[in-house]
Amino acid sequence: EDQVTQSPEALRLQEGESSSLNCSYTVSGLRGLFWYRQDPGKGPEFLFTLYSAGEEKEKERLKATLTKKESFLHITAPKPEDSATYLCAVHPLSGGYNKLIFGAGTRLAVHP
Amino acid sequence: ETGVTQTPRHLVMGMTNKKSLKCEQHLGHNAMYWYKQSAKKPLELMFVYSLEERVENNSVPSRFSPECPNSSHLFLHLHTLQPEDSALYLCASSQASGRSDTQYFGPGTRLTVL
């Protein structure tokens, strides 16, 4: 069964304290892996798409990496405005259309 | 308007009411989705429309009825809901191209069933 697990469930950081969020997946094959950011009471905001192992993408303080079994979202020198829930989703090969499987998310709190 | 919009943003309804949620995408996409997001649970895919044809109905109870009159609009008709249906309902759209296409989400409708 296709599955996505995110860890930790919640993370508290001091401003400037770098860390990483993990997304582990079990799928028959991977079409793509997506990272989203979600603020309370709002819809998910797209951050990155990764398609193959070894691929990396960066945006400001965020960097996403992908291996054959997991993805990491690295946050460098975070600021309080980076506080949000970060969602990971995979599109398995078995999905004929764009059926994404989401993880439960990591709630990040960055304190000044 | 830009991106994906949803109305209303908040809805409170009784178990015997009938209401509809509306979604509109301004991105020129040809696929639209309804998701349910409950507290501390992963997003659950409810329905998928591709080129205005429903291609997924993820074992959703019949009290939820989707409608996609054209590629820009999507509705979710609600009737005789249960309190456990209270959640954030999210609409998304993408351009179906055969690869893995990014889905863009609207702000959601916060639904409370009394």
B21 vs A: CB within 8 A: no
- pLDDT score at A96: 63
Residues of B whose CB is below 8 A from A46: 102-105
The chain-wide mean pLDDT, for chain B, equals 91
Report chain B residues whose CB lies below 8 A from the CB of A4. Answer: 42
Would you call A44 an interface residue with chain B, using a CB distance cutoff of 8 Å? yes
Name the amino acid, one letter, at B52.
E
A47 near B CB under 8 A? no
Per-residue pLDDT band for A95 (boundaries 50, 70, 90) equals: low
**Residue A92, pLDDT above cutoff 70:** yes
- Could you tell me how far CA B66 lies from the centroid of its own chain? 8
Measured at the CA of A33, the angle between CA B107 and CA A26, to 5 degrees, comes to 120
**Residue B26: C-alpha distances to residues A48, A57, B32, B51, B76 (Å):** 21, 27, 12, 15, 18
Residue A27 has a CB neighbour count (10 Å cut-off) of 19
A97/B55 touch (CB, cutoff 8 Å), yes or no: yes
Q: Is A36 exposed, middle or buried (0-12, 13-18, 19+ CB in 10 A)?
A: buried
pLDDT, tens digit, for every residue of A11-65? Answer: 999 999 999 999 999 988 898 999 999 999 899 999 999 999 999 999 999 999 9
- Using the predicted structure, report yes or no on whether residue B4 has a pLDDT greater than 90: yes
A62-66/A106-111 β-pairing: unpaired
Please state the rounded mean pLDDT for residues B74-85: 95
